[in-house]
Chain A
C-alpha cells in the first residue's frame, strides 16, 4: 500500500469537500483544482509525461472555467455544511474500497490470472486470492471515484442552477472516469485524450450554464424593481383613476 497514493486520495476528498461546501468562489475553485489534479496524479506507476501533462492541463483548465463562472454567480454554500460533506466523502471512499476488494475477490474466485490489469492486480504482498484484503492501487482509485460521486451527485441533481451545480457535474464526471480506471485498468493514450476532452467540455458546459443562470437572475432582479414614487404620481393610469 503506497502512502503517497493514500495521501493523494485524501487530498482529492478534501479538495472536493471544499469545492462543494465553501461560500467563497476562489476557495471552491482551488478545492476543485486540488481534486482534479490529484485525480490526474492517482496511479502507480504514473503514466507517461505526455499523458500526465494532458490530464493536469485539462484539470487546471476546468478549474479556471468554473472559477470564471463564479465571478458573476450567486454564492452557493453547502446546505448541510462541510462536516457532513466530509462524512459523505469518507463514506463514499469506504464503500468504494469495499466494492473494489469484493470485486477483486470475485475475480480471484473466477480464476483471473495474476497480474491482470484491473480488479485482480496483485498487491505488494503477492497475488490477490480469495479472502485477501490487500488494498491495491486500483482499489484506491475506485475509492476516490466513489468518494467524488458521493459528494458530487447531490449538488448536481438537487442543487439550484449555478456554479455549485457546475461543480457537481465536474465531480460526477471525474468520478466516473476514475471508476473506469479503477474497474477496468489503465486507459490507452487515445482514451486519455478523449477523457481529458470530456472533462474540459463538461467544465465549459457547467460554466456556460452557470453564467447564463446568473444573467437570468440579474434580468429578473431588474424586472422586479419598484417604480419611482414620482413616476407613479404622474402615471396616466393614476390620473385617470382619480
Chain B
C-alpha cells in the first residue's frame, strides 16, 4: 500500500534527520530534503482510495489523507530549502517528516485508539526537537526548558485524554453501552454530551485554544517560525480530524445538545475573537502568526457543535487549507527575519519595496487567508460558523473573514511604506549576477560558470528565499481554492 511506503520513508528520513542534526547539519538537511521530495512523489502517486488490513485493523487511504500528504510534503520540501538558506540548527524537516508519517497513518486507521496513541507519540517530536534546539541556541534564557516541558505535557496530555475518552466510549459501561443500542434517556444523553465535551477539551489543549494557549504562546516565542507549522498547524489539524471522525461515528449529532453546543461555541469563538484581536494589535510578526493559527483552530472546533456530516467535510477542507496558508505565512516571517534581522512592524517599513518577490508572495498569502467566495476555504469557514450559529452565522463568518484582512493588511501597508533604515541595511531582495567568475579559477567559461554557482547562490540568498515563499504562497492559493477533497 502506497501510504505504508510513504509513512516508512517519511519516518525513516525524519528520524535520521533528527538524529544527525546535532553533529552533521548538512547531511541531516540533505536527508530531510530528499525524504520530503520522495514523500511528495509517493503522495502524488497515491490513489484516492486504497485499503488494507494491518494488525486486525482496516487502513483506508481517502482523498483527505492524500490531499494532506501532498500539501504537507510539498510545503516541507520548500521549508527544507528555506532551512538550508536560513541556517541554524536543523529543527524543521526531521520532526515534520515524523509528524507527516504519523498523521497519515492515524487518519487512515479505522481504530481511533490506535490513531490517538500514534498522534500523541508523533506530536511530541514537533515540540521537543525545536524546543530543545531553541534552548541550546539560547542558553541565557533558562525559561525555554520549562516551556518545552510544558509543551510536551500539553501534547501528551491531550493525547492521553483523547485515549481515555475513546476507551470510555468503547466501554460496556460507557455512554455507548459497548457498541449496542443505547436507550434514549437523559442519563445516556448526558453521558454522550460529557464524552463530546471531553474530546473537545483534548482538542483545545492540543491546539492551544484560549484560555489554554499560554504553553503554545510561550513555545512559539522560543523556536524558529519554520518549526511552528509542524506542531501547531499540521499536527493540530491531524488531531482535530481524528477527534472529529471519532465523534461523528461514535457519538453522532445527538451528542451535541443545546448546553454542549453553546459551551463549544463559546469556547471556540473566544479563541476566534480574542486570537484575531491579538493578531490585530501585535506588532511582532511572529505573534501575529501564532494568534492567527490559534484563530484557525477556533474555527475548526466549531465543527464539534453540530457533528453534521456536511460540516465535518467543511472542517477537513478548512484544516488542510488553513494549515497550508499558515505554513506559507510562517515561511514569510522566517525569511523576513533572516533578511532584515527584525520582526517588528516598526523596523520593517518598506519591506515589500525592498523585496518585490516577498511582496507578491505576501499578497498571495493575504488572498488565500481571507478567501474569495468561490474558494473552498471561504465556503468551509462559512459552513462551520453558520452550522454552529444558525441565523446569524453568515454575518459572523464575514466578520471573521475580515480579521485576516486587518492583521495581514497592516503588514502589507508597512511593506509599502518608505524603506526604513533596518530594511535598507538588510540583504538585497533583488537578484544580481556577480559575473560568473569563481575566485581563484582560470578555466573555460562553462567550468567557470559551474564553479561560480555556489557564489551566485550565496549572493542571491534573499531573492531565492523569497522565491521559496512565493512557491508556498502559490500552494496556499491552490489549496484554499480546491480544499482537501473532504
* Residues of chain A having any CB pair with chain B under 8 Å: 103-104, 106-107, 110, 112-113, 116-120, 156, 161, 165, 169, 172-173, 176-177, 179-180, 183-185, 187-195, 197-198, 200-202, 205, 208-209, 212-213, 216, 219-220
Residues of A within 8 A of B252 (CB): none
Partner pick for B172 among A119, A165, A173, CB 8 A cutoff: A119
Indicate with 1 or 0, residue by residue over B137-171, a CB within 8 angstroms of chain A CB atoms.
00100100110110011001001100110111011
- A181 nearest CB neighbor, chain B only: B167
The answer to whether B173 touches A190 (Cβ under 8 A) is no
CA distance A161 to B172 in the complex (A): 39
- A209 nearest CB neighbor, chain B only: B149
Residues of B within 8 A of A113 (CB): 180
The answer to whether B171 touches A190 (Cβ under 8 A) is no
CA distance A205 to B128 in the complex (A): 7
State the Cβ distance, B59 to closest chain A Cβ, in Å.
8
Q: A183-B171, A191-B114, A194-B117 are in contact. List 7 more A-B contacts (CB 8 A).
A: A106-B173, A113-B180, A161-B146, A173-B160, A180-B113, A185-B170, A212-B135
- The list of the 5 closest CB pairs from A to B, nearest first, reads A190-B55, A189-B55, A194-B117, A103-B173, A180-B167
CA distance A176 to B156 in the complex (A): 11
The answer to whether B178 touches A120 (Cβ under 8 A) is yes
Residues of B within 8 A of A208 (CB): 128, 132
State the Cβ distance, A125 to closest chain B Cβ, in Å.
19
Residues of A within 8 A of B156 (CB): 169, 173, 202, 205
The answer to whether B57 touches A205 (Cβ under 8 A) is no
CA distance A177 to B149 in the complex (A): 21
The answer to whether B114 touches A188 (Cβ under 8 A) is yes
State the Cβ distance, B138 to closest chain A Cβ, in Å.
11
Residues of A within 8 A of B139 (CB): 216, 219
The answer to whether A110 touches B146 (Cβ under 8 A) is no
Q: List 22 interface pairs A-B (beta carbons < 8 Å), by A numbering.
A: A103-B171, A110-B177, A118-B170, A118-B171, A161-B145, A165-B149, A173-B156, A180-B113, A180-B164, A180-B167, A184-B113, A184-B174, A185-B170, A191-B55, A191-B117, A193-B114, A194-B114, A194-B118, A198-B159, A200-B121, A216-B145, A219-B139
CA distance A35 to B128 in the complex (A): 26
Known: A173-B160, A176-B164, A212-B132. A198 touches B117 (CB 8 A): yes
Counting chain A CB atoms within 10 Å of each CB, which of B54, B111, B172 scores highest? B172
Residues of A within 8 A of B115 (CB): 194
The answer to whether A194 touches B164 (Cβ under 8 A) is no
Known: A107-B173, A110-B173, A191-B111. A176 touches B118 (CB 8 A): no
Residues of A within 8 A of B56 (CB): 188-190
CA distance A212 to B139 in the complex (A): 11
CA distance A165 to B145 in the complex (A): 13
CA distance A101 to B220 in the complex (A): 45
Partner pick for A183 among B54, B124, B145, B174, CB 8 A cutoff: B174
**CB of B334 within 8 Å of the partner chain:** no
Residues of A within 8 A of B54 (CB): 190
State the Cβ distance, A63 to closest chain B Cβ, in Å.
18
CA distance A116 to B168 in the complex (A): 14
Residues of A within 8 A of B166 (CB): 180, 184
CA distance A213 to B164 in the complex (A): 30
Known: A172-B160, A173-B156. A212 touches B145 (CB 8 A): yes
The answer to whether B135 touches A120 (Cβ under 8 A) is no
The answer to whether A107 touches B178 (Cβ under 8 A) is yes
The answer to whether A161 touches B159 (Cβ under 8 A) is no
CA distance A241 to B113 in the complex (A): 70
Residues of A within 8 A of B159 (CB): 198
Known: A103-B171, A104-B173, A120-B172. A194 touches B145 (CB 8 A): no
* Residues of chain B having any CB pair with chain A under 8 Å: 54-57, 109, 111, 113-115, 117-118, 120-122, 124-125, 128, 132, 135, 139, 142, 145-146, 148-149, 152-153, 156, 159-160, 163-164, 166-168, 170-174, 177-178, 180
CA distance A191 to B116 in the complex (A): 9
The answer to whether A116 touches B145 (Cβ under 8 A) is no
Known: A188-B57, A190-B109, A195-B117. A112 touches B145 (CB 8 A): no
Residues of B within 8 A of A120 (CB): 172-173, 178
The answer to whether B164 touches A179 (Cβ under 8 A) is yes
Residues of A within 8 A of B153 (CB): 156, 169
CA distance A172 to B170 in the complex (A): 21
CA distance A233 to B259 in the complex (A): 74
The answer to whether B145 touches A184 (Cβ under 8 A) is no
CA distance A176 to B113 in the complex (A): 12
- B129 nearest CB neighbor, chain A only: A208
- A99 nearest CB neighbor, chain B only: B173
- A51 nearest CB neighbor, chain B only: B55
Partner pick for B145 among A177, A187, A213, CB 8 A cutoff: A213
The answer to whether B152 touches A198 (Cβ under 8 A) is no
Residues of B within 8 A of A117 (CB): 172
Residues of A within 8 A of B125 (CB): 201
- B188 nearest CB neighbor, chain A only: A110
- A180 nearest CB neighbor, chain B only: B167
- B117 nearest CB neighbor, chain A only: A194
- B113 nearest CB neighbor, chain A only: A191
The answer to whether A201 touches B172 (Cβ under 8 A) is no
- A192 nearest CB neighbor, chain B only: B55
CA distance A156 to B111 in the complex (A): 29
CA distance A117 to B174 in the complex (A): 13
Partner pick for B121 among A112, A194, A212, CB 8 A cutoff: A194
CA distance A190 to B114 in the complex (A): 7
- B152 nearest CB neighbor, chain A only: A205
The answer to whether A191 touches B173 (Cβ under 8 A) is no
Counting chain B CB atoms within 10 Å of each CB, which of A193, A198, A208, A220 scores highest? A198
Counting chain A CB atoms within 10 Å of each CB, which of B57, B124, B178 scores highest? B178
State the Cβ distance, B212 to closest chain A Cβ, in Å.
15
State the Cβ distance, B135 to closest chain A Cβ, in Å.
6
Known: A180-B163, A201-B121, A209-B149. A193 touches B172 (CB 8 A): no
CA distance A200 to B124 in the complex (A): 12
The answer to whether B121 touches A198 (Cβ under 8 A) is yes
CA distance A130 to B316 in the complex (A): 44
